[in-house]
Amino acid sequence: MAVLQMKKKLRALVIMILMVQMVFSSIFAAYAADDETAGEPKILAVNGPVFEVNAGEMNEVNITVKNLSSYVAKSIIVMPQLVEIEGNPLDISLKTTSSNLSAISPNASKNLTFFVDVDKTAQAKTYSVDVRFNFYNTDGVNYETKSTLYFKVKGITTEDNIFFEDFNVEPDSLEVGGTGKIGVTVKNRGPINMYGVNVSIEGLDPTLISAKGVSSKKIPNIMAGTKERFNFDIASNSAMVSGNYPITFSVTCKDENGTAYSYEQKYYVVVGGSSSGQKSDLVIKNLVEPNGVFGVNQNFQIKFDIANIGKSAAKNVKVTASEYGEGSNIVPKTSSVISIEELAAGASKGMSFTFAATGSASTRNYTVELKVEYEQNGKAISFSQYAGANVSNPDNEKDEDEDKKESKPKIIVSDYACDPIIVMGGQEFNLSMTFLNTHSQKVVKNVKMYLTMAEETSSESTKTGNIFTPVDSSNTFYFDSIPAKGTVEKKLRLYVVPDAQPKTYTVTVNFEYEDESGNEYTSTELLGVNVKQAAKIETSEIVIPETFELYAPISLYFDIYNTGKVALSNLKVTLEGDIDTTSKSTYIGNCASGESGYYEGSFSVINLGENNVKLTISYDDASGEKVEDVHEYTIIGSEPIPVEEGMDGEMGEDYADGSEPLSIGKIAAIVGGVVVIIAIAAVIFKKKRAKKAAKFIEEDLEDDAEYKAEDIKEGKDNNEQL
């Protein structure tokens, strides 16, 4: 009997050794599979590549980014960069506060939104932007790809932004020797704000019409799309005769860039009623004045309708169109007189006159007088109405005022750009600047330029020096001269100290220079450089079982490392889902750059079948923004395994010393428990090693299913061999 018992024990021991060998073979296979090298991901923008944007607006452009490879890409940094820096009107940035994407699975896509701010003075053309993607594969190898996008700008015309409307005189007809008010509305219909707006009434003659009080008024600005009303008091001379008399309204202003604008237009004031003393039954309606600016010998048309609003016919109607005033500056290109034998009551007739400017014309607005003469009920009646046209003739412009010649030259930074646009602490960047001599006549020479970057990183006890320092160059530069309205360019490479706080820093550009007469000048310009620091955490491996008994405690421990450049605050770990735990929320506190914390807790699943578990690591970055790193898991809850006694009666006898012998059933149960524990550890190890990038990806359930199917198949094959 003792020999039989010994044989049974040996048989059980052999079975246990074979099962342990099978488990360790699976572990070694997991090691071998994990040694495979991850390949190179390929991240590119797949839509577009041409997008239309509007000048003067903040445009939102949606970009689809796709991983075109079979490998996971993680820690993706998106960096848009202007291809043409000089004169580029685009300012492009990501809509999100962070330029990072956690990860993109193989053949998966993610959507990004860019803010594209287009300057309102941008020309209608296409600009290129390179979007660079910097990322890692699951082995930690760094890669970079680039996609080129094209932004087609729909420009806004800036011609005739300032103009006059709503002229009126109170009363409608001034009495000879009387007073009244004349008003006009100045409208800024362009996209650019206008500053230093000065409106005046000109062409006044004390023997005719004069200003009663001020003849000009000035306001600080007229914002884009708004308008302002100007009123002036006027008086007519008591010795003047009745008639229509011109008053010229003039407006001058400057836009945001200092460009000067001017516009003028004539308006006619009626004094003493119509020259015939009779109310006219003929009127000019639907007057269409030429729109735009016309050069010498360039035709423009004036169109209108003559309408009889009286109750009787008008006879011998004659309409004459001619330049009002001095003449010979604009001349008719068609007949200047149109005659109508009779215009019945209620009838109207369309008319058109064509004019062109001559070489003697100046750059200004010219007035065309439309004089209407006719007979009605045996009485001769006449009246005039006026239209205007803008003429440009640069060859005949007068010399500039002496004050303008006496103006001082000034150097400004007309454009600058940082490359890369996102300036990170501890890295170098290129600063490109364009310097403009704003004077239209004077040359500046002996130009000395140097940068002042006085802001320092400091604390209560230490100062670490300037935020920016030049790389392989001096801080001072020299230019022989800059011509009138000319530009020079300078490109610097600067280094940002690693511990710079994320914010916008000011760089001062100082100029010292002379004009042609040796007069010395100084000026300064301010530039803004936006510095950012990456807030980033990493964790040790988080081990969550895929299957576990109901209500059995699952221990959880992992380390948290602050691998970014800024301190984190309010670091906290929360557990949620189909679980029972006493540590749903654990507050860790502050974590300085380079330091670490840890989380330790336990929980148990409560549902038979699927239990969803959500692990969230949250913290506040240096700007106070809350950042969350979310991990989601699914645990299959199972019934507890019952422990049965006396499974094998053949080995149930007691030993001689009174102890109970170890039965085959008990040995099998022990071996089975050990094997299950080792198998679970091996499967968890294999899956965690094979999916070390999965902590960046939420969509990992399909991969889990594949791994599980492979493990079941592998175990089945081994059992069959056994």
Question: pLDDT value at position 707?
Answer: 40
Q: Which fold has domain 43-154?
A: Immunoglobulin-like (2.60.40)
Question: pLDDT value at position 463?
Answer: 44
Exposed, middle or buried by CB within 10 Å (0-12, 13-18, 19+), for 331?
Answer: middle
Q: Between residues 670 and 520, which one has the greater pLDDT? A: 520
Q: Between residues 357 and 274, which one has the greater pLDDT? A: 357
At 311, the amino acid letter reads K
pLDDT tens digits, one per residue of 629-661:
999 999 999 987 765 544 444 444 444 444 444
Q: Would the pLDDT of 160 be above 70?
A: no
Question: pLDDT value at position 485?
Answer: 84
Separation CA 235–CA 222 (nearest Å): 29
Q: Would the pLDDT of 26 be above 70?
A: no
Enumerate the β-bridge partners of residue 174.
271
Separation CA 471–CA 454 (nearest Å): 17
Separation CA 538–CA 540 (nearest Å): 7
Q: Between residues 708 and 49, which one has the greater pLDDT? A: 49
Question: At 174, is the pLDDT very low, low, confident or very high (cuts 50, 70, 90)?
Answer: confident
Question: pLDDT value at position 319?
Answer: 92
Calculate mean pLDDT across residues 481-504: 84
Calculate mean pLDDT across residues 11-38: 59
Question: pLDDT value at position 156?
Answer: 59
Q: Would the pLDDT of 399 be above 80?
A: no
The percent of residues in the chain predicted with pLDDT above 70, rounded, is 76
Question: At 12, is the pLDDT very low, low, confident or very high (cuts 50, 70, 90)?
Answer: low
Question: At 464, is the pLDDT very low, low, confident or very high (cuts 50, 70, 90)?
Answer: very low
Question: At 721, is the pLDDT very low, low, confident or very high (cuts 50, 70, 90)?
Answer: very low
Calculate mean pLDDT across residues 370-389: 83
- CA 393 to chain CA centroid, Å, is 41
CATH class of 535-640: mainly beta
Q: Would you list the domain boundaries of the chain?
A: 12-39+641-691+699-722, 43-154, 162-396, 407-532, 535-640
- CA 537 to chain CA centroid, Å, is 28
Rounded (5°) CA angle 255-215-329: 75
CA atoms within 13 A on the CB side of 256: 11
| Rounded alpha-carbon distances, angstroms, from residue 551 to 579, 604, 605, 633, 678 | 9, 5, 6, 17, 21
Query: Among 20-34, 117-131, 347-361, 482-496, which stretch is predicted with the lowest mean pLDDT?
Result: 20-34
Q: Would the pLDDT of 30 be above 50?
A: no
- DSSP assignment of 4-21 equals HHHHHHHHHHHHHHHHHH
Calculate mean pLDDT across residues 611-627: 85
Q: Which fold has domain 407-532?
A: Immunoglobulin-like (2.60.40)
Query: Among 21-25, 486-490, 495-499, 581-585, which stretch is predicted with the lowest mean pLDDT?
Result: 21-25
To 10 degrees, what angle do helices 2-34 and 664-690 make? 0
Question: pLDDT value at position 649?
Answer: 41
Question: pLDDT value at position 352?
Answer: 92
Question: At 419, is the pLDDT very low, low, confident or very high (cuts 50, 70, 90)?
Answer: confident
Calculate mean pLDDT across residues 147-173: 76
Separation CA 451–CA 206 (nearest Å): 58
Calculate mean pLDDT across residues 464-483: 80
Question: At 685, is the pLDDT very low, low, confident or very high (cuts 50, 70, 90)?
Answer: low
pLDDT tens digits, one per residue of 237-278:
887 766 677 888 999 998 876 778 888 887 778 776 543 334
pLDDT tens digits, one per residue of 89-139:
888 888 765 456 788 988 888 888 888 888 876 766 788 888 889 999 988
* Residue 583 and residue 601 in contact, taking contact as beta carbons nearer than 8 Å: yes
Q: Which two tokens stand for residue 625?
A: 């923004």
Query: Is the whole-model pTM more than 0.75?
Result: no
Calculate mean pLDDT across residues 59-85: 87
- DSSP assignment of 142-181 equals EEEEEEEEEEEEE----TT-EEEEEEEEESSEEPTT-EEE
Q: Would the pLDDT of 1 be above 80?
A: no
Q: Between residues 2 and 629, which one has the greater pLDDT? A: 629
Task: Identify the CATH assignment for 162-396 out of 3.40.1350.10, 3.20.20.120, 3.40.50.300, 2.60.40.10.
Answer: 2.60.40.10
Question: At 406, is the pLDDT very low, low, confident or very high (cuts 50, 70, 90)?
Answer: low
